[in-house]
Amino acid sequence: MHPAPGPAPAEPAPNGWPWSLLRGFRGGDRDALTEVYRLHAAEVACFLRQGFRFRAGDAVHRFVGFGRASELHDALQETFRRAFEPRARSGYDGLRPYGPYLRAIARNIVLAGFRGQQARFPRVGGDAVALLEVEDTSPGPGDPEAELHAAQVQRLVAAFLEGLAADERELLRLRFTEGLSQREVAERLGVGRQVVRSREDRLRARLLEHLDRRGERGLIGVQRVVLLALAEAWLAEVLR
């Protein structure tokens, strides 16, 4: 007699999130907002650092990207602040991928400064023209520099994980591979939520210190906020 099959895995929402994450996000749950930030911060940070091309009237311009960590941090936080406003959250139905939506917000933040900062938006051939209509012409995935950064960060993250204790690796696995909230991890480990939060904060600080010590200067201009976002994204991959 064959054993009864186990329960089928729950289908994700159309955008790839668990339905519980989508509901929590739309409802403003703090853990859900933190998880959405974790899932997408690296993508948005890299987009803002690397820059993009766009069309203004009959001319193509290029945003050269934020070179200073403070500017990158401010633009990244403003992107998520706008995306996490109650009206924006409640209006997101989960049918469309969330990454392109965030990049559109980030692009609009950058383009708001187009008129006053022409040096940051050189025209691709010729003189600058008046801003009439903006059309995105940003490159798609597969940028060699971005792939190099990601590969280097992945190696550094793998080295960091090798030096962790088993319980520390398990906490990171639950958070970044299984995607559990801090509350769910606390229940799984039999500890308080504040304990999980404190341990995670300490591990983040150690990870950033490791990246600073072992590789930040060799990552061709990747700033601290990008490093940490990329590293957290790679934790899920390395721990699978």
Map out the domains of the chain as residue ranges: 19-136, 144-238
Report the C-alpha gap between 38 and 21 in whole angstroms. Answer: 12
CA-nearest of 25, 16, 176 to 99 is: 16
Pairwise pLDDT comparison (97 vs 211), residue with the higher score: 97
CATH topology of domain 144-238: Arc Repressor Mutant, subunit A (1.10.10)
Report the C-alpha gap between 67 and 64 in whole angstroms. Answer: 8
Average pLDDT over residues 228-235: 59
What is the tens place of the pLDDT at every residue in 27-68?
998 888 888 888 888 788 878 887 888 877 777 878 878 867
Pairwise pLDDT comparison (10 vs 185), residue with the higher score: 185
Q: Is the pLDDT of residue 190 over 90?
A: yes
pLDDT at 211: 74
Q: Is the pLDDT of residue 74 over 60?
A: yes
pLDDT at 150: 59
CATH topology of domain 19-136: Rna Polymerase Sigma Factor; Chain: A (1.10.1740)
Report the C-alpha gap between 111 and 173 in whole angstroms. Answer: 38
Q: Is the pLDDT of residue 26 over 90?
A: yes
Alpha helices, DSSP H, located in 92-223: 98-111, 144-162, 166-172, 182-189, 193-214
- Grade residue 105 by pLDDT with cuts at 50, 70 and 90: very high
- Grade residue 117 by pLDDT with cuts at 50, 70 and 90: low
**Quick one: what percent of the chain has pLDDT higher than 90?**
20
Question: Same topology for domains 19-136 and 144-238, yes or no?
Answer: no
**Quick one: what percent of the chain has pLDDT higher than 70?**
65
